[in-house]
Structure 1
Amino acid sequence: MASDRLSVVVTRRLPDPVEQRLGELFNVRLREEDTPMTREELIAAVQEADVLVPTLTDRIDAGLIGQAGERLKLIANYGAGVDHIDVQTARERGVLVSNTPGVSADDTADMAMGLILAVTRRLPEGLAVMQSGNWQGWAPTRLLGGRIAGRRLGILGLGRIGQAVARRAAAFGMEIHYHNRRRLRSEIEDELAATYWESLDQMVARMDVISINCPHTPSTFHLMNARRLKLMKPDAVIVNTSRGEVIDENALTRMLRAGEIAGAGLDVYENGAEVNPRLRDLENVVLLPHMGSATVEGRLEMGEKVILNIKTFDDGHRPPDQVVPAML
C-alpha cells in the first residue's frame, strides 16, 4: 500500500527520469522550484520525512538535525561531497548518511583538463575577441599562450578524480606529481608515472600547474593559503574543480591582480555562488558555474545511486554508499 512506502523529501529538482523512478518506489515529495529550500522548509522536511535527499546547496548542520522528527532515518545525499552534512551528529541521532561516490570522477577530470587548457591557451580571451567582432585576422604575436606538454602538474588529492586528471594530463605530455595525506601504493604510482611529494610546500614551489582535487574538510580549509600561494612560480597556474574553501580566494585574487600567479581556472568558490567580484575583471582567470559534474550521464547515475541507497535501506540493509565519521 502507498501508505506503507517510505516518505522521501527531495530538496532540489532532479533529472526527470530520477524523479519518476523515485515516485514509482516511494511516497515522494518533489521540489517544484529549482532553487534551494529555505531553512524553514528544510526544518519542515526533516520533521515529516523518513528519508531526506539533499544536495550540496543544503546545510544539514547539527541544529537542523536536532529538529528532525523521529521518522527521519536516512539522509541520502545527491552528490559525493558531504561537507555540508554534520555526519557525526546524524550518527548520534541514529540517522544514516549516504552519498554517491565515484560517479563524477571522469566528468570532473574532463573539466579540470578543460580549465588547464583554457587558462594556458587563453581560450576565453580568444572567444571574447571573436564575439566582439574586433578580430583583425591572424598575427604571429597575438594571444600567445603556453604549451602544456612537458609542464609539471601538481595534483593536490590523488583520489578517484585526481587519478582521472593524471591519466588525461599524461596523454597531453604533462609530468604528474601529487601530494596526499598518505602516499599511494607503488603500483598506482607506477601506473600513473606519478611522483609523490611529502611536503606540499615543496611541491607547490616547483609545479607549473596546480590542480585542486581534495575534499573540503577542517584540515583542508584554506590549505592553499596566502603563504602557500606565494610559493607558486610567477608563471604557474592553478585550477580548482573540488571545493572552493580549499583556496583562500581573497589571497588568490590579490596575487592574480598583482601578476604573482599567471592564471587560474575556477569551477568552485569559497562562498558558493557569491563569487569575489574582483575575479570577474581579470583576463587571466577562467570562471565556471560549478559545472564539473554537469553531464546528463553523470546526473542520472547519481540519481540511480540515491535510489539504490534508499531501496537497500528500505529492504532492511545498510546502504551501499553509507558515510561514517571515520571516513571523513
Structure 2
Amino acid sequence: MPATVLVLVETINDYLPILERQGFHLILAPTPAERAQAIVTHGSRIDAVLTRGPLGLNADEIAALPALKIITVIGAGYEQVDLQAASDRGITVTNGAGVNASSVADHAMAMLLALVRDIARCDAAVRRGEWPKIMRPSLAGKRLGILGLGAVGMAIAKRAALGFDMQICYHSRQMRSDVPYAFCSTPTELARAADFLIVATPGGLGTQHLVTRTVLDALGPNGFIVNIARASVIATADLISALEQRRIAGAALDVFDHEPHVADALKALSNVLLTPHVAGLSPEATQGTVELVGKNLMAFFSGEPVLTPITLPPRLNDQRVH
C-alpha cells in the first residue's frame, strides 16, 4: 500500500506530480480549515506530512495522526514543527536546507538594491508624471554584514563580493575557517562594522530577537537592513521605532510576525520595502525542494537513511508508535 502524505504547503501544486509518480498518495490541505478537516477525516491513515517552517505541525496535530512516521519540511526553517512531540513519538523530521539558497540570495540582493537605490519611490514618481533626481548610495565598495552564514548567507556573500565588490563580514554561531570573510563575535559588532545588514539565520527560539534596538543603533542612521530569514529574528517594535525615528535609513522585509498580516506601521513608512514571503519561490527552487522531499520519503519508506535529517531533542517518554 502506498504511503499517504498530507500536504500543507500552498505553493507547490505544479510539482506534486513528482511525488505522485513515486507512488505516494497525496491529500492536499493548504488552508487552515482544510488542514483541520483532513486531520479529522484522514488522520488514521496519514503516514507523512509535508509542511514548511511557518506552517509547522503542532503537538495536538501530531497526536491526532497515529500512523505518522515522518514530517518533511520544505526549505531550511522548521520553527513551528513541534520537535519534542516528534521525538517522543519516534517520528523522523527532515528539511530542505540549501535547496532554495540561490533563489533566496537573488531576492535578498534584489531587495538590497531596490531599497538602497530607492527603486520603488522612483517608479511611483515617474508613474505620477514626476521626474525627481534622487541621489542614493552605491553598493560598490560598501561593507555588507550577513547575520547567519549558512547556505543562503554564503550565496549572498558570493553575489555581493564578486558581483558588487563589497566587503563581507558575518556573525554566526561559530566562526568558519573555510571563508575569507571577517567574523564578528556579536550581532551588535556586526552591525557596527557594516553599512548594510542582511538577516539570513534560521528562525526559532535560538535566534529570536537577535536584532534589537542595540543592534539597530549600531547600524546607524545611514544603515539599511534586509530580512529574508524569519521575522522573529528582529524585534519588530524596535525596528519600527528605529525606522520612524530615522535611526536607520531603511528596511526591506520579506517576512512578518503574523503572516499574511503586516503591521500598519510598516506599511505607512516610506523607508520600508515589503514583499510577501516570496524569496524562496522560483520554479527552480520549488522543483528542487519537492524533489528533495521525494528523495527523503523514498529513502525513509525503503528503510534507508534520510538525506537531510533534523536533530531532535531527547525523548521525554517512550511513546513510539509501532
Q: TM-score, normalised on structure 1?
A: 0.89
Q: Return the alpha-carbon distance in structure 2 between the equivalents of residues 16 and 43 of structure 1.
A: 20
AA aligned to 2:255 is: V
AA aligned to 2:272 is: V
Contact 1:109 1:162 in 2 (8 A): yes
AA aligned to 1:178 is: Y
Q: Return the alpha-carbon distance in structure 1 between the equivalents of residues 95 and 292 of structure 2.
A: 8
Contact 2:2 2:25 in 1 (8 A): no
Contact 1:46 1:65 in 2 (8 A): no
Pick which of 76-85 and 35-44 moved more: 35-44
TM-fit CA distance, 1:80: 2.0
State the secondary structure of the residue aligned to 1:306: helix
Query: 2:236 maps to what in 1?
Result: 249
Contact 2:187 2:210 in 1 (8 A): no
Query: 2:115 maps to what in 1?
Result: 119
Aligned residue pair count: 311
Query: 1:147 maps to what in 2?
Result: 138
Q: Return the alpha-carbon distance in structure 1 between the equivalents of residues 187 and 159 of structure 2.
A: 22
Contact 1:248 1:270 in 2 (8 A): no
Write the deviation string for residues 228-270 of structure 1: whole angstroms up to 9, x where unpaired.
2222211000000011110011211111011111001111112
Query: 2:3 maps to what in 1?
Result: 6
User: Is 2:155 the counterpart of 1:164?
Assistant: yes
Contact 1:98 1:321 in 2 (8 A): yes
Correspondence 1:223-234 to 2 at 5 A? 223-234=210-221
TM-fit CA distance, 1:35: 3.3
Query: 2:27 maps to what in 1?
Result: 30
> Alpha carbons of 1:37 and 1:158: their partners in 2 closer, same or farther (altered >3 Å)?
farther
Contact 1:156 1:214 in 2 (8 A): yes
TM-fit CA distance, 1:16: 4.6
Give the one of 121, 127, 135 matched to 2:130.
135
State the secondary structure of the residue aligned to 2:16: helix
Q: Return the alpha-carbon distance in structure 1 between the equivalents of residues 24 and 74 of structure 2.
A: 18
User: Is 2:95 the counterpart of 1:104?
Assistant: no
List runs of 5+ in structure 1 lacking aligned partners: none
Query: 1:215 maps to what in 2?
Result: 202
Q: Return the alpha-carbon distance in structure 2 between the equivalents of residues 36 and 78 of structure 1.
A: 18
Query: 1:189 maps to what in 2?
Result: 179
Pick which of 233-242 and 200-209 moved more: 200-209
AA aligned to 2:168 is: I
Contact 1:246 1:270 in 2 (8 A): no
Q: Return the alpha-carbon distance in structure 2 between the equivalents of residues 209 and 6 of structure 1.
A: 47
> Alpha carbons of 1:323 and 1:46: their partners in 2 closer, same or farther (altered >3 Å)?
farther
AA aligned to 1:259 is: R
Q: TM-score, normalised on structure 2?
A: 0.90
Quote the sequence identity (%): 30
Q: Return the alpha-carbon distance in structure 2 between the equivalents of residues 20 and 307 of structure 1.
A: 10
Q: Return the alpha-carbon distance in structure 1 between the equivalents of residues 139 and 32 of structure 2.
A: 39
Query: 1:86 maps to what in 2?
Result: 82
TM-fit CA distance, 1:271: 2.2
Q: CA RMSD in A?
A: 1.9
Which protein has greater RCO, CA pairs closer than 8 Å, 6+ apart? 2
